[in-house]
């Protein structure tokens, strides 16, 4: 009974819409979708999406590990606040994130340094903002679970703080980090709202893959929209498979 | 002296874990820190290792003030109750850790690890991971790991606490032998008086953050300084103004001026000795231990009235 409910729910909420997407691409003809995908502006959109992810993911991975260690292993005033702030992007709508960046770096904002809005910097900032929590949220419970005895042992054996981090802490949390990286990457590739506000969505320049879908759709080019969506869908499936492969290993790490 | 603890005080919030503690540990000795839980024994060990810092007082290691030194520069080996094995490393890599972080040459590391594996009897287990070892094996690996860099002192925090009784007994005997071979100054924490008495050549009895007595096991048992030590390192009966051990009671069938009348409530034969629970006419209970032959000669049985007299009594 419970299994039936869970399966029906997943079918209606997740699989239905995705199946519809594939069905429509089939109807429109795979050739049309393919030609849309191979358009220079679409290729540029994918390249830009990957570039943004390539900057945002390492930044948030390092931040996630550092903030995780700070929260679990040290005591400092305002720790609870930092812990709560890490989750802020989960609670805040990406559109609001985009708007606040827009206001901060816009003509009436406080910060004016070079071209930030409608360019790569703002898009990276928006993406970094929305994908902050994922590595930290994986790392924090794992750090708590392994405790600090192994690290203490390493210290008494003569390891410096840095040696202890590289030889003991990082290998112990590696699966949590990898899992966090996969989720962060997925989040970065799929980001829409915040980037939409700050990018200006200029085709061939500041348009990411998700914005490209919107662009095609508004211009009534359904095959194009479906084609790009399909690519994003395939990436999602790859991510899903990676996550499934990594998840069980978490416990044994 | 290998370790000198000078007037160390440590608080955790409002809890006074160590209250002006001073202890000397002789070079080459095997010392037990014995006390009930919350007595401060583990805290003292962790302060010696540098894993906790004292609020006041000093730690002097091999004649040098080490109070401000970090754990990695104190030259101590530390063994944790729950092993703290590096789970992602093999037994060999665990043992080699201290040598690798010191950037010792590879051949030297290999020889030393082989030596240690032999010493802790883990031959053939070098390529296993900690998860594939039994508790006793893991603890021996942790010991080898702590010994790798030839520490001046070896500190063990309830090293056998997580093991079952049989493995515990084996490891105790083994630790004793290991100490005889290496002569590394060793301090171990335990709440088990039998373990302390069997293994150590000097016992530091702690209670409520203070040192009650420091003495070899025999002296501790025969000449306890106070009532706490008397009853913690063995059984003790209140007898008048003094205290008497269960085996220091003489049993007679007839009263004389010095004896007290008691009822034998229960009688148990344990190997070569007989243990009895006695009740005095005023309701006070006493434990008695006598040799089996003696009990047989007196034909002791439950429900019988006999007379006891302390042969050796301590008054505090």
pLDDT digits (tens, 9 = 90+) for A98-127: 999 999 988 888 888 888 889 999 999 999
Report how far Cα B33 is from the mean position of its chain's Cα atoms. 6
Domain A29-249 classification at class level? mainly alpha
Closest Cα of chain A to B189: distance in Å?
A: 17
Q: Which of B47, B79, B82, B86 to mutate to test the interface with A (most CBs of A within 10 A)?
A: B86
Q: Which two tokens stand for residue A172?
A: 């112990």
Interface contact flag, B77 A150, Cβ < 8 Å: no
Asked whether residue A250 carries a pLDDT value surpassing 80, the answer given is no
Q: Which ranges in chain B belong to alpha helices (H)?
A: 41-49, 91-101, 106-119, 135-147, 165-182, 193-199, 217-222, 227-232, 292-298
Q: Mutating which of A149, A151, A155, A157 best tests the B interface, going by the most B Cβ atoms within 10 A?
A: A157
Decide: A139 and A211 in contact? Cβ < 8 Å: no
Q: Is the pLDDT of residue A18 over 80?
A: yes
N residues, chain B: 316
What interface predicted TM-score (ipTM) does this complex get? Answer: 0.87
A252 pLDDT band, cuts 50/70/90, is very low
Interface of A with B in 142-171 (CB under 8 A): 149-150, 152-160, 163, 167-168, 171
Q: Do A172 and B146 touch (CB under 8 A)?
A: no
Q: Which of A196, A69, A74 is nearest to A130 (CA)?
A: A196
- Residue in A with minimal Cα distance to B82: A149
- Reading chain B (316 residues) residue by residue, the pLDDT tens digits are 789 999 999 999 999 999 999 999 999 999 999 999 999 999 999 999 999 999 999 999 999 999 999 999 999 999 999 999 999 999 999 999 999 999 999 999 999 999 999 999 999 999 999 999 999 999 999 999 999 999 999 999 999 887 888 888 888 998 999 899 889 999 999 999 999 999 999 999 999 999 999 999 999 999 999 999 999 999 999 888 889 999 999 999 999 888 889 999 999 999 899 999 999 988 889 999 999 999 999 999 999 999 999 999 899 8
Do A179 and A248 touch, CB atoms closer than 8 A? no
For residue B105, count CB atoms less than 10 angstroms from its CB and return exposed for 0-12, middle for 13-18, buried for 19 or more: exposed
Q: How confident is the model at residue A253 (pLDDT cuts 50, 70, 90)?
A: very low
Report the candidate in B85, B53, B45 with the shortest Cα–Cα distance to residue B70.
Answer: B53
Q: How far is A139 from chain B (nearest CA, A)?
A: 17
- How many angstroms separate the CA atoms of B267 and B278, rounded? 9
Q: How far is B139 from chain A (nearest CA, A)?
A: 13
Number of CB pairs < 8 Å for A and B? 66
The CA distance from B170 to the nearest CA of chain A, in Å, is 24
Query: Is residue A249 scored above 60 in pLDDT?
Result: no
Residue B80 CA to residue B158 CA, distance in Å, equals 7
């Amino acid at each position: 009974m419970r299994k039936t409910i869970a399966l029906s729910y997943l079918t209606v909420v997740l699989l239905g819409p995705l199946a519809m997407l594939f069905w429509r691409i089939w109807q429109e003809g795979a050739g049309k979708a393919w030609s849309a995908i191979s358009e220079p502006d679409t290729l540029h959109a994918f390249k830009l999406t990957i570039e943004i992810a390539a900057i945002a993911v390492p930044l948030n991975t390092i931040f996630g590990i550092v903030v995780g260690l700070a929260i679990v292993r040290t005591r400092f005033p305002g720790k609870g606040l930092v812990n709560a702030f890490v989750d802020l992007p989960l609670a805040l709508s990406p559109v609001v994130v985009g708007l606040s960046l827009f206001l901060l770096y816009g003509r009436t904002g406080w910060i004016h340094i070079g071209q930030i809005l409608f360019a790569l910097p703002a898009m990276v900032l928006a993406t970094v903002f929305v994908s902050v929590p994922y590595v930290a949220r994986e790392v924090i419970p794992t750090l708590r679970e392994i405790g600090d005895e192994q690290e203490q042992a390493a210290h008494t054996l003569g390891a410096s703080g840095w040696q202890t981090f590289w030889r003991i802490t990082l290998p112990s949390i590696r699966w949590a980090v990898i899992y966090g990286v996969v989720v962060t990457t997925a989040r970065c590739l799929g980001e829409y709202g915040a980037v939409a506000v700050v990018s200006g969505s200029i085709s061939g320049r500041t348009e990411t893959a998700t914005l490209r879908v919107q662009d095609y759709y508004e211009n009534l080019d359904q095959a194009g929209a479906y084609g790009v969506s399909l690519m994003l869908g395939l990436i999602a499936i790859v991510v899903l498979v990676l996550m499934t492969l990594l998840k069980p290993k978490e416990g044994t790490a | 002296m290998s370790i000198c603890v000078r007037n160390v005080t440590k608080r955790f919030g409002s809890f006074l874990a160590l209250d002006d503690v001073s202890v000397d540990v002789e070079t080459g000795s095997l010392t037990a820190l014995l006390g009930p839980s919350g007595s401060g024994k583990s805290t003292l060990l962790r302060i010696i290792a540098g894993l906790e810092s004292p609020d006041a007082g000093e730690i002097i290691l091999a004649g040098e003030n080490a109070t401000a030194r970090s754990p990695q520069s104190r030259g101590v080996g530390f063994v944790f109750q729950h092993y703290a094995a590096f789970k992602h490393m093999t037994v060999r890599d665990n043992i080699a850790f201290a040598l690798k972080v010191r950037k010792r040459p590879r051949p030297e590391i290999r020889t030393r690890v082989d030596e240690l594996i032999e010493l802790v009897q883990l031959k053939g287990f070098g390529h296993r991971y900690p998860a594939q070892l039994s508790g006793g094996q893991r603890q021996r690996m942790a010991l080898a790991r702590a010994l790798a860099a030839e520490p001046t002192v070896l500190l063990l925090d309830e090293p056998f606490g997580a093991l079952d009784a049989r493995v515990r007994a084996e490891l105790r005997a083994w630790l004793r032998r290991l100490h005889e071979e290496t002569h590394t100054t060793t301090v171990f924490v335990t709440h088990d008086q039998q373990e302390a008495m069997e293994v150590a050549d000097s016992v530091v009895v702690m209670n409520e953050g203070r040192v009650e007595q420091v003495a070899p096991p025999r002296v501790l048992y025969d000449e306890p300084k106070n009532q706490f030590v008397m009853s913690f390192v063995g059984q003790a009966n209140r007898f008048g103004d003094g205290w008497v051990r269960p085996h220091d009671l003489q049993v007679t069938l007839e009263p004389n001026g010095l004896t007290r009348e008691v009822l034998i409530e229960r009688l148990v034969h344990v190997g070569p000795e007989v243990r009895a629970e006695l009740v005095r006419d005023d309701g006070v209970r006493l434990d008695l231990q006598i040799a089996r032959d003696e009990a047989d000669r007196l034909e002791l049985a439950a429900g019988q009235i006999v007379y006891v007299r302390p042969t050796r009594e301590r008054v505090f």
